[in-house]
C-alpha cells in the first residue's frame, strides 16, 4: 500500500503542473484572440447594417414599380453624428421633396432605420487614404457626408426602374468600409467592401 501511494504522488504532481501550464496557455490564447474577436464583431455589425439598408433599397424599388409611384429612400441626420433613413411615396406627382414631406403631401411608409451606431453605421473613415470606388484616386468631397445622392440626400426610385445615381458609405469606425451603389439607368444596387491597406474596393454579395 505504501509503495502504491508513493507511485501515485509523482503522477498527481505532474498532473497539477500540466493543468497549470494548460491554463496559462489558454489565458495567453484568450488575450491574443481578443483583437480578432473585436474585429469579427465589428465586421458582423457592418455587414448587418449594410444588409438592412440594402433591403430597404430593394423594397423601395419594388414599391415604386408595383404602385407606379416614385418612391424614395430619404436620409437625414439624427443629432450631430447619427443618421437615419425611411421610405416615402410621392403623393402629388412632382417627385419626393422635403417640403412635401413636411406638409404630408408625400407620405412616409414603413419603418425608420437608425444608422448611427457606435460599432457600425453611415460614415467615411478619416485619417486613412480611402480609394474612390470608381478607381480614380482617393475618395473626395465632404468626408463627413456619407450619402452621395445629390444635394437632398434622397434616392428616388421610379416606376420605370430608374433611380438617382447614388453611393452610400458605411463604416465599422475602425478599419472597414462598405458602399452601396445605386445605378441610375437600371436602379440596381451593388455592394462593395474595402478595408485599410487595400488598394481597391472589392465587389461582395449581400
The C-alpha atoms of residue 43 and residue 37 are separated, in whole angstroms, by 10
**What b-and-e string marks burial along 143-165, b requiring 16 or more CB atoms within 10 Å of the CB?**
eeebbbbeebbbbbbbeeebbbe
pLDDT at 206 over 80: no
Average pLDDT over residues 139-147: 92
pLDDT at 95 over 70: yes
pLDDT in the model for residue 61:
96
For 151, list phi and psi in degrees, rounded to 5: -75, -30
pLDDT in the model for residue 4:
52
- Which among 164, 162, 130, 161 is positioned nearest to 147, based on CA atoms? 164
pTM for this model (two decimals): 0.81
Average pLDDT over residues 65-73: 96
pLDDT at 187 over 80: yes
pLDDT at 27 over 90: no
Average pLDDT over residues 151-173: 94
pLDDT at 34 over 80: no
- Domains of the chain, CATH where assigned: 2-203 (3.55.40.10)
pLDDT in the model for residue 30:
54
Instruction: Return all residues near 118 (Cβ < 8 A) that are at least 6 apart.
Output: 173
Amino acid at each position: 500500500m505504501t509503495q502504491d501511494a508513493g507511485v501515485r504522488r509523482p503522477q498527481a504532481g505532474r498532473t497539477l503542473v500540466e493543468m497549470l501550464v494548460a491554463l496559462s496557455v489558454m489565458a495567453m490564447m484568450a488575450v491574443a484572440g481578443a483583437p480578432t474577436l473585436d474585429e469579427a464583431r465589428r465586421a458582423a455589425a457592418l455587414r448587418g447594417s449594410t444588409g438592412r439598408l440594402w433591403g430597404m433599397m430593394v423594397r423601395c424599388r419594388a414599391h415604386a414599380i408595383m404602385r407606379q409611384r416614385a418612391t424614395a429612400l430619404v436620409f437625414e441626420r439624427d443629432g450631430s453624428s447619427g443618421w437615419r433613413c425611411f421610405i416615402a411615396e410621392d403623393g402629388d406627382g412632382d417627385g419626393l421633396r422635403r417640403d412635401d414631406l413636411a406638409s404630408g403631401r408625400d407620405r412616409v411608409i414603413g419603418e425608420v432605420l437608425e444608422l448611427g451606431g457606435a460599432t457600425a453605421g453611415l460614415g467615411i473613415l478619416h485619417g486613412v487614404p480611402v480609394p474612390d470606388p470608381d478607381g480614380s484616386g482617393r475618395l473626395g468631397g465632404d468626408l463627413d457626408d456619407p450619402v452621395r445622392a445629390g444635394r437632398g440626400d434622397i434616392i428616388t426610385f421610379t416606376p420605370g426602374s430608374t433611380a438617382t445615381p447614388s453611393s452610400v458609405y458605411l463604416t465599422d469606425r475602425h478599419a472597414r468600409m462598405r458602399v452601396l451603389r445605386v445605378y441610375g439607368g437600371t436602379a440596381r444596387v451593388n455592394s462593395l467592401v474595402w478595408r485599410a491597406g487595400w488598394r481597391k474596393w472589392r465587389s461582395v454579395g449581400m
